[in-house]
Amino acid sequence: MSRKVLLVGDGAVGSTFANDLLLSTQVDELVITDVVKERPIGDSMDLEDITPFVGSCNIHAGEYADAKDADVVVITAGIPRKPGETRLDLVNKNVKILKSIIQPVVESGFNGIFVVSANPVDILTTLTQKLSGFPKNKVIGTGTSLDSARLKVELAKKLNLSVESVNSIVLGEHGDTSFENFDETVVDGKPLSEYNELNFSDLSNIESDIRQKGGEIIKSKGATFYGIAMMLAKIVSAILENNAIVLPLSAPINGEYGIKHDLYLGTPTVIDGTGISHVIETKLSDKELAKMVNSADKMQEVLEGIELN
């Protein structure tokens, strides 16, 4: 059975994702589309040059109509965040772009899985599901997977341990209302609370550093893309290979954490060839549960202010 992916958006994230995916997964056809028509042509030619090392793949520029027989449509297209802007500042700009993508993709006859990384990702993932009418398990957002990677890096640095030894996640919105799951964090087999070298001030600084890291990278080099591109490649690889993995992603909330809103939010999620297999309601302290509910409330406020028609 042929494995086909349509990438919508060939900026820094999209092109890095395409490279990472081809390095990690056998793909039979990769179609790239972008509003700047010349870029996917050049990127396709450039990516062809790695096929002698990773295996054959039909890589070419295309259109939304090419989604008709694709397994996955990956959406990275959108206006990137500028220095000083929050992800939520991008809502109205990127909702308009999203609508222009979803309609023609659905009209093509696409029956695969949407994977969204454009920001604000929880809002745009929720809207992708509503605009497409697809089953909720077939729409996935990158959620807090990047935040969680950043958390692992910071904790490993502070404790002078390997990043692989850190088991900790960020939950909620991929944005200002996200929070670190410190109360349940385990490092090198021990609860984080047993590490006396980290006090409350240290944890607060870690939270602040994680929240500001994206902005700092944008200030220095104009965009962040390596981490999120790798997350996208992991998600798409799991779908194509039907390999169940768990990541903190934008997933559909259906009463988990006592949340009544109909939206997507960052929580541990099992994905496989069917898309979202399970949404995991992870254990939270009362304090963290309140933060999760607050994050959902803030997302709902934004959603209520968006006109889809």
What residues are labeled active site?
174
β-pair type (245-252, 190-191): unpaired
11: number of Cβ within 10 Å: 17
29: number of Cβ within 10 Å: 18
Spatial contact of 106 and 73, defined as CB atoms under 8 Å apart: no
243: number of Cβ within 10 Å: 13
| Token pair belonging to 146 | 């990047």
Cα(79)–Cα(14) distance, integer angstroms: 13
- Strand order from edge to edge, sheet including 190-191: 166-167, 186-187, 190-191
Q: Is the peptide bond before 252 cis (omega within 30 degrees of 0)?
A: no
| H-helix segments, 140-285 | 145-159, 200-221, 226-241
At a CB cut-off of 8 Å and minimum separation 6, what does 73 contact?
A: 5, 6, 8, 67, 105, 110, 112, 113, 114, 115
The tally of CA atoms less than 13 A away on the side-chain side of residue 242 is 4
What are the residues facing 162 on neighbouring strands?
Answer: none
